[in-house]
Amino acid sequence: MSTTPSLEELLERLLSLGGSDLHLKVGSPPSFRIHGELQMADLPSLSSEQTAELLASMLPDHLEPPSSGTDIDFAWGRGNLGRFRVTSYTQRGSINIVVRAVPPTSDTLADLGLPQAITKLANEKQGLVVVTGPAGAGKTTTCAAIIDHINANRRANIITLEDPIEVLHHDKQSIVSQREVGVDIDSLSTGLKSVLRHDPDVIYLGELRDRESIEGALVAAETGHLVLTTMYTTDAVETVHRILDSFPPFLERRIRQMLGTSLLAIVSQRLLPRNEGSGRVPAVEVMLNTEAITERLVGTEPMDTLYETIAEGAFYGMRTLDQAIVERYEAGDVSFSDALLHVASPRDFKLATGALTGAAPK
């Protein structure tokens, strides 16, 4: 094509390809992330004027374009195309943009292929649930499905604190109020301080970013609320250590006690390429706060056995990420090579799947 398509045309193309992200970079053609792989379009390179104009067409009134050393992040919707999360930043003095498609809430927890344990967590009335994983692992989609399950199945006052609001929820059985940083609240931490005065049953905090938000989430869970949130951590063990490392050593005992009392679960996920087909499938680690887990959180049993405790907790619905990937491989959902790329212990994966004993990979 001799001219660059409009933003709407680029997004239509992204969605038709089943993509997740549109990258707009000065000096390069638009690129699409399709099933985890970045693909450059056969289009002209973008100029700095074009990316600035594209950003201006989406930018909300309360934000300014990014300047040196700053990024901006906001949600944007366009008619039948749906909603998108937009991140913009500068590089070499020019504006770059990443537009991520936000899936609608039409998929249920079962539709997403998530473990039954997560549906049980959605039915809980009190405690902290942390959904973790790298960027693009489906954390937002999982949290939206949990909120939608609650919304559809019981009467509750659900309040979300987001930066920005990504998935829109409409009242069903529950009342859902969605508050956005920069529009309704100054920050996630300040929103969390005030939300307890609003008689919530369920609180969704977009991300645990710092000590203040972690402590606020623990207090909210401790005082009788179901709290759902996310972190950019790889698995349950790293998540626990990240939480503890956010506090000075003299507070560690107190935070461990709060985790032992308030934590319901840590859910860590990856999206793996679907075997012989389009799309991706989730592999999900689940750590539930059983008595054995509590003993390790509070320190009556050694913390360094936390991983083994998860691995041995299948009776309760627990599993490590590697165990989840083995399940996906044995079900034929992912290829041997893709599974091998994502496990923490390739040797144990080969042993579990028979590859070390001569069995041919599927």
Do 12 and 79 lie in one domain? The reply is yes
> Has residue 354 been placed in a domain?
no
Do 76 and 121 lie in one domain? The reply is no
> Has residue 343 been placed in a domain?
no
The answer to whether residues 338 and 283 touch, using CB atoms and an 8 Å cutoff, is no
Q: Which domain holds residue 150?
A: 116-319
Cis peptide before 29 (omega within 30 of 0): no
List the structure tokens of 311.
Answer: 């691995």
Do 32 and 163 lie in one domain? The reply is no
Do 204 and 66 lie in one domain? The reply is no
Separation of alpha carbons 73 and 36, rounded Å = 21
Do 95 and 123 lie in one domain? The reply is no
Do 89 and 148 lie in one domain? The reply is no
> Has residue 199 been placed in a domain?
yes
Residue 232 CB neighbour total at 10 angstroms: 16
pTM: 0.85
Do 54 and 190 lie in one domain? The reply is no
CATH number at residue 190: 3.40.50.300
Q: Where are the alpha helices (DSSP H) in 207-359?
A: 211-222, 236-245, 252-262, 291-298, 306-311, 321-330, 336-342, 346-352
Residue ending a domain, among 70, 102, 134, is: 102
Total domains, the chain = 2
Laid out side by side, the sheet with 19-24 consists of 37-40, 31-34, 19-24, 94-102, 82-91, 71-78
Residue ending a domain, among 102, 124, 156, is: 102
Q: How far is CA 192 from CA 159, 175, 214, 217, in A?
A: 10, 18, 10, 8
Do 173 and 299 lie in one domain? The reply is yes
Do 282 and 139 lie in one domain? The reply is yes
> Has residue 58 been placed in a domain?
yes
Question: How far from chain centre, in Å, is Cα 187?
Answer: 19
CATH number at residue 14: 3.30.450.90
> Has residue 56 been placed in a domain?
yes
pLDDT for 331 equals 94
DSSP state of 277: S
Q: Which residues of 4-33 are buried (b: 16+ CB within 10 A; e: fewer)?
A: beebeebbebbbeeebbbbbbbbeeebbbb
* Contacts of residue 131, Cβ cutoff 8 Å, sequence gap at least 6: 139, 142, 143, 228, 229, 230, 231, 267, 268, 269
Do 48 and 175 lie in one domain? The reply is no
Do 268 and 120 lie in one domain? The reply is yes
> Has residue 357 been placed in a domain?
no
Backbone angles phi, psi at 43, to 5 degrees: -140, 165
pLDDT of the chain along its 362 residues, tens only? 447 789 999 999 999 998 999 999 999 999 999 988 899 999 999 999 999 999 999 998 888 899 877 899 898 988 788 899 999 999 888 899 999 998 776 678 989 999 999 999 999 999 999 999 999 899 999 999 999 999 999 999 999 999 889 899 999 999 999 999 888 998 888 899 899 999 999 999 999 999 999 999 999 999 999 999 999 999 999 999 999 999 999 999 999 999 999 999 999 999 999 997 778 999 999 999 999 999 999 989 999 999 999 999 999 999 999 999 999 999 999 999 999 999 999 999 999 998 656 565 66
- Could you write out the DSSP letters of every residue in 110-140? TTTT--HHHHHHHT-SSEEEEEE-STTSSHH
Do 179 and 296 lie in one domain? The reply is yes
The answer to whether residues 278 and 221 touch, using CB atoms and an 8 Å cutoff, is no
pLDDT for 114 equals 94
> Has residue 360 been placed in a domain?
no
pLDDT for 358 equals 58
The answer to whether residues 329 and 339 touch, using CB atoms and an 8 Å cutoff, is yes
Separation of alpha carbons 116 and 113, rounded Å = 9
Q: How far is CA 256 from CA 136, 172, 289, 303, in A?
A: 29, 37, 12, 11
pLDDT for 93 equals 86
> Has residue 286 been placed in a domain?
yes
- Going by C-alpha positions, the residue among 231, 237, 235 that lies closest to residue 343 is 235
Separation of alpha carbons 188 and 209, rounded Å = 9
pLDDT for 359 equals 61
